[in-house]
A and B are shown apart, each in its own frame.
Chain A
Amino acid sequence: GDSVTQMEGPVTLSEEAFLTINCTYTATGYPSLFWYVQYPGEGLQLLLKATKADDKGSNKGFEATYRKETTSFHLEKGSVQVSDSAVYFCALSARDDKIIFGKGTRLHILP
């Protein structure tokens, strides 16, 4: 069945470091891909999305490119901030409006 695999955390970085959180997926057809973020005490929020191959989603300095050839959607940010500390979920939606999440990656940014 459809699935999402993302790197396990926690990931700890210093402020202004470069961030990559890997995400790969398995799905039939052509899914839409998403990154969600959950800040402490808050609900999941959509961070960015891409709906077709080679699309690049971006928001708040984060980027991810839909790579069909490698079935990947890695999240990147050039310079992280302490306020980026959160749990990040990679997800896909293939059919029936169901969203499938990865396990989540907790990110700690040190000042």
Chain B
Amino acid sequence: GAVVSQHPSWVICKSGTSVKIECRSLDFQATTMFWYRQFPKQSLMLMATSNEGSKATYEQGVEKDKFLINHASLTLSTLTVTSAHPEDSSFYICSASSEQWISGNTIYFGEGSWLTVV
């Protein structure tokens, strides 16, 4: 089946630095990718919707200048956390869709990335 690869799985960075997380669709072309963030004991929160070749659409309250999303190809979307702070420490997960999602079975998820900012 379709696979979405997310890298790195774990990353520790120093406060003030930037870190990039990649989301790749391995065997299909993902026209749309979603980035989620999970806070402890809370549900996944949609951060932004990324469409290939266009600017990402950010959810209300998500700082677009802090969470840079690039979807330069049909198989790769990246999330860059700029000037990271400890409060950015979280679990980030991406999902990818090859077509408009109606039935729900065309969404595939990555394994997620744990970010710890020290």
Contacts and interface: CB of A to CB of B under 8 A. Distances in A.
A98 B46 contact: yes
Given A43-B108, A49-B105, A103-B41, A97 B46 contact: no
Task: Report, nearest first, the 5 A-B pairs whose CB atoms are least far apart.
Answer: A43-B109, A44-B109, A101-B43, A101-B44, A49-B104
Contacts of B34: 99
Q: Which secondary structure characterizes the binding site on chain A? A: strand
A46 B104 contact: yes
A87 B108 CA distance: 16
Given A44-B93, A103-B41, A97 B109 contact: no
Given A49-B103, A49-B105, A97-B32, A43 B46 contact: no
B79 to A, nearest CB: 16
Interface in B21-56: 32, 34, 41-44, 46, 49
B74 to A, nearest CB: 17
A51 to B, nearest CB: 7
B49 A97 contact: yes
Interface string A32-43: 101010000111
A32 B111 contact: no
Interface of B: 4, 6, 32, 34, 41-44, 46, 49, 93, 95, 97, 100-105, 107-112
Interface residues of A, number: 22
A89 B42 CA distance: 11
B111 A41 contact: yes
Nearest to B111: A43
A20 interface: no
Contacts of B97: 97
Given A43-B112, A97-B32, A32 B104 contact: yes
Nearest to B9: A41
Contacts of B95: 44, 99
